[in-house]
Structure 1
Amino acid sequence: MVGTTVDRRAASGLGAAAAGMLLIAATYGMARFGVGLFAPRIGAKRPELTDVLGWAGAAQFTSYSLAAVLAARLVDRRPRAGLLLAGATAVTGCLGVAIAPTPALFVLAVFVGGMGGGFASPALVPVIDAVVAPRAGAAAQSVVNSGTAVGVIGAGVVASAAASVGAAWLFMALVCAAATAAAWWPARARGDLPAARPAATPPARPVRGPWRLLAVPAVAAVIAGAGSALIWTFGPLLITASGAVPAERVGRLWIALGLGGVLGVLTGALVRRSGTRGGWCWCAGALAVAGAGVGVSVAAGSAGAAYAGMALFGAGYMGLSGVLILWARQVWPGSAGAGTSVLFIALATGQALGSVGFGLARDLLDPAVLAGLAAGLCAAGGLTALAGRR
Structure 2
Amino acid sequence: MFENKLIVVGLPMIAVTYGLSRFSYGLMLPYINETMNMAQSTSGVISSLSYIAYCIAIVLAMVFSNRVSPRSILIVAGFSSTIGLGIISVSGNPGVLGLGIFLAGLSTGFSSPPYADIIDENVEIKLQNQTNSWINSGTSIGTALTGVIAIIMTDSWRETYLIFMVIATVVLFANYKVLPKKQNQTLNKNVKSGFSKEEWRRAIPLILASLLLGTSCSAYWTFSRDFMLQNESVPDYLGEWLWVIIGVAGLLGGTAGACINKFGLMPAYRISVIALSTSSLLLGTFTDYIMIGFLSPALFGSSYIFMTGVLIVWGISVFKSNPSFGLGIPFLILALGQAIGSIFSGVIADLLSYNVLFIGASIIGYLALIFKRT
Q: 2:82 aligns with which of 79, 91, 98?
A: 91
Q: CA deviation at 1:132?
A: 6.0
- Is residue 149 of structure 1 aligned with residue 140 of structure 2? yes
> How far did residue 224 of structure 1 move?
1.6
**Bigger shift: residues 162-171 or 331-340:** 331-340
Whether contact under 8 Å (2:120, 2:323) holds in the other structure is: no
Q: Aligned partner of 1:335: which letter?
A: N
**Structure 2 residue 319 is the aligned partner of structure 1 residue 332:** yes
Asked whether the 8 Å contact 1:281–1:382 carries over to 2, the reply is yes
Contact kept? 1:224, 1:382, Cα under 8 Å: no
Give matches, 1:185-196, under 5 Å. 185-187=177-179, 190=180, 192-194=182-184
Look up the match of 1:6: none
Q: Secondary structure at 1:203's aligned position in 2?
A: helix
Give the stretch that moved more between structures: 147-156 or 247-256. 247-256
Distance 1:244 1:185 in 2: 49
Distance 1:49-1:91 versus aligned 2 partners, 3 A rule: farther
- Structure 2 residues not aligned, in runs of 5+: none
TM-aligned CA distance change 1:54 to 1:367, over 3 Å: same
2:189 aligned with 1:203, yes or no?
Answer: yes
* Alpha-carbon distance in 1 for matches of 2:134, 2:261: 19
Further displaced range: 155-164 or 127-136: 127-136
Alignment of 1:58-69 (within 5 A): 58-69=48-59
How far has the Cα of 1:85 moved from its partner?
1.1
2:98 maps to 107
Q: Which residue of 2 aligns with 1:23?
A: 13
Aligned match of 2:169:
177
Q: CA deviation at 1:94?
A: 1.1
Contact kept in structure 1, 2:117 and 2:323, CA below 8 Å: no
With the length of structure 1 as denominator, give the TM-score of the two structures.
0.86
Whichever of the two has the greater Rg, that structure is 1
Question: What one-letter code is carried by the residue in structure 2 that aligns with 1:361?
Answer: I
TM-fit CA distance, 1:246:
5.2
Match of 2:22 among 11, 32, 37: 32
**Partner SS for 2:47:** helix
- Does 125-134 or 334-343 show the bigger shift? 125-134
Q: Distance in 1 between matches of 2:323 and 2:40?
A: 39
Structure 2 residue 146 is matched with structure 1 residue 159? no
Q: Would you say 1:343 and 2:330 are equivalent positions?
A: yes
> In the aligned structure 2, how far is the partner of 1:107 from the partner of 1:147?
24
1:328-373 deviations in Å (ceiling 9; x for gaps): 2333322343132111111111111110001111121122111110
1:50–1:368 distance in 2 versus 1, CA, 3 Å: closer
Alpha-carbon distance in 1 for matches of 2:3, 2:317: 27
Q: Shift of residue 96 of structure 1?
A: 1.7
Taking a change above 3 Å as real, the CA distance of residues 337 and 319 of structure 1, as seen in their structure-2 partners, is same
**Do the aligned partners of 2:143 and 2:244 also contact (CA within 8 Å) in 1?**
yes
Partner of 2:293: 306
State how 1:236-315 maps to structure 2 within 5 Å. 236-245=225-234, 250-272=239-261, 275-298=264-287, 300=288, 302-315=289-302
Q: Structure 1, residues 225-270: CA drift from partner, whole Å, max 9, x if none? A: 1110110111111111113545576441011111221111222344
State the identity %. 26
Question: Matches of 1:365 and 1:99 in 2, distance apart?
Answer: 33
The 8 Å contact of residues 41 and 247 in structure 1, kept in 2 or not, is answered as: no
Report the equivalent of 1:380. 367
Contact 2:20 2:142 survives alignment (8 Å): yes
Q: Which moved more, 1:250-259 or 1:53-62?
A: 250-259
What amino acid maps onto 1:43 in structure 2?
A: N
Deviation at 1:34, TM superposition (A): 0.5
TM-score by length of 2: 0.90
User: Structure 1 residues 186, 134: closer, same or farther in 2, change over 3 A?
Assistant: farther
Counterpart-to-counterpart distance in 1, 2:85 and 2:98: 12
RMSD (Å), alpha carbons: 2.6
Task: Encode CA deviations 1:252-297: one digit per residue, 9 max, x unaligned.
Answer: 1011111221111222344345543332222111111101121135
Structure 1 residues 131 and 181 mapped into 2: Cα distance closer, same or farther (>3 Å)? farther
Q: Which amino acid aligns with 2:97?
A: F
Deviates most, 277-286 or 307-316: 277-286
Q: CA distance change for structure 1 residues 274 and 160 in 2, over 3 Å: closer, same or farther? A: same
**Per-residue Cα deviation, 1:15-54 (whole angstroms, up to 9, x for no partner):** 4421111111011111011101112222233313654210
Helix, strand or coil at the partner of 1:192: coil
2:214 alignment partner in structure 1: 225
Of 109-118 and 262-271, more deviation after overlay is shown by 262-271
The one-letter code sitting in structure 2 at the alignment partner of 1:108 is L
Instruction: Give per-residue Cα distances to partners, 1:83-137, cap 9 Å, x unaligned.
Output: 2211111112111221111112211211111111111122333445666677765
Task: State whether residues 46 and 101 of structure 2, in contact with CA within 8 Å, keep that contact through their aligned partners in structure 1.
Answer: yes
Out of 334-343 and 17-26, give the one that drifted further.
334-343
Counterpart residue identity of residue 357, structure 1: F
Which stretch of structure 1 is more off in the superposition, 163-172 or 45-54?
45-54
Structure 1 spans left out of the alignment, 5+ residues = 1-9
Number of the residue aligned with 1:168: 160
**Alpha-carbon spacing, 1:149–1:84, altered in 2? closer, same or farther (3 Å):** same
